[in-house]
Amino acid sequence: MSEHVVSRKVYFFIFGALMGFTLLTVWIANFNLPGPLNAIVALSIAVTKGTLVVLYFMHVRYSSKLTWVFVCAGLVWLIILFAFTLSDYLTRGWVPITAEPWAH
Amino acid sequence: MAAEHTTTYGLAHHFDDIEQQREAGTLGMWAFLITEILFFGGMFMAYILYRTKYPDAFANASAHLNWMIGGGNTIVLIISSLTMALAVYYSQVGDRKKLMLFIVLTMILGATFLGVKAYEYHDKWVHHLVPGFRFNWEGHGDPQQVQMFYFIYFVMTGIHALHMIVGLGIMTVILIMAKRGRFTPEYHSPVEISGLYWHFVDIVWIFLFPLLYLLGAHLHNQ
């Protein structure tokens, strides 16, 4: 298995897509969308741009399965970091504390 | 085997062949980048929590940042990622002159980004928006909560800028190595691996830009 040389055409195409998504996210940010929609749209576009960079500029699409495992492991741990922390902070106050065990 | 090793340029003795060496180098770099993802992840976590806690102050504080400067810097970084990707391409096909040209272009764009960042920091200093140093906020929102936004803004963009400075140092080394003719189409892992680092720093900014600059952009239209 020899190294995959990504053609310049692919790089320019990805570059164009990244520029397009940047303009799109700036344009959409001017509207006050209902609820958390602004954040959802902005993050979806950022995730798409990041994925394009990882797959093409960083060659992960053409890399070995082991490289994929490494990249995915990083994302899994990031999700654990966010999910476990938020499961604490966002749920505080959901269950009212009826008795304080230390107060007699 | 031993005889073959001495004839393959750039191959360290503990690897079977250049392909295995390249794979090991790429994996090692990704292992490092995962620690970087989690390093920045902790700061993004702090951002998420405080933004959830103080949504209005964060939107108002964000609206004070100039999204046109931030957007311009985003475009500068994306172009630098393209020139970096092309530098890797020219190292793969063995075009030393173009490799050096695109490394230099990448460095110029990186320095441009840092220059604009310095201008922004100076602007924040002039307007008393550096947390802890005569911080003063007269716009909408609780000043203490707004100050928290600027704490997060300065730490995240500061650590990102530090990564850019390190990146410029790495590119200087790569440029010198390229000038001395150290890279061949078979052996150019240093260019490839430095490129991974550069693109990673670009990705961090791709997330920082909407979260810090665009969060309050809609307030300008009200």
Q: What is the pLDDT of residues B103-151, one digit of tens each?
A: 999 999 999 999 999 999 999 998 888 898 888 888 888 889 999 999 9
Q: Give the tokens for residue B134.
A: 């005569």
Residue A94 token pair: 């959901």
pLDDT single digits (tens) B77-92: 999 999 999 999 999 9
Average pLDDT over residues B161-184: 96
Q: Which residues of A44-70 are buried (b: 16+ CB within 10 A; e: fewer)?
A: ebbebbbebbbebbbbbeebeeebeeb
Q: Provide the percentage of residues in chain B whose pLDDT is more than 70.
A: 96
pTM comes to: 0.91
What pLDDT does residue B18 have?
87
Mean per-residue pLDDT, A72-79: 95
Task: Judge contact between B63 and B219, C-beta under 8 A.
Answer: yes
What's the fold here for domain B30-221?
Four Helix Bundle (Hemerythrin (Met), subunit A) (1.20.120)
Structure tokens at A43: 């993050």
Give ipTM to 2 decimals.
Answer: 0.89
d(CA B172, CA B190): 12
Spatial contact of B21 and B12, defined as CB atoms under 8 Å apart: yes
- Of A28, A56, A54, residue with least CA distance to A43: A28
Per-residue confidence (pLDDT) for residue A34, from 0 to 100: 84
Tokens standing for residue B100:
């050096």
Asked if A64 has any chain B CB less than 8 Å from its own CB, the reply is yes
Residue-level pLDDT at B152: 95
pLDDT at B5 over 50: no
Mean pLDDT, residues B152-177: 97
Q: pLDDT grade, residue B216 (50/70/90)?
A: confident
Residue B98 phi/psi, 5-degree rounding, is -70, -35
> Residue B38: which of A70, A78, A85 has the nearest Cβ?
A78
Select from B76, B203, B211, B213 the residue whose CB has the most chain A CBs within 10 Å, as the one to mutate to test that interface: B203
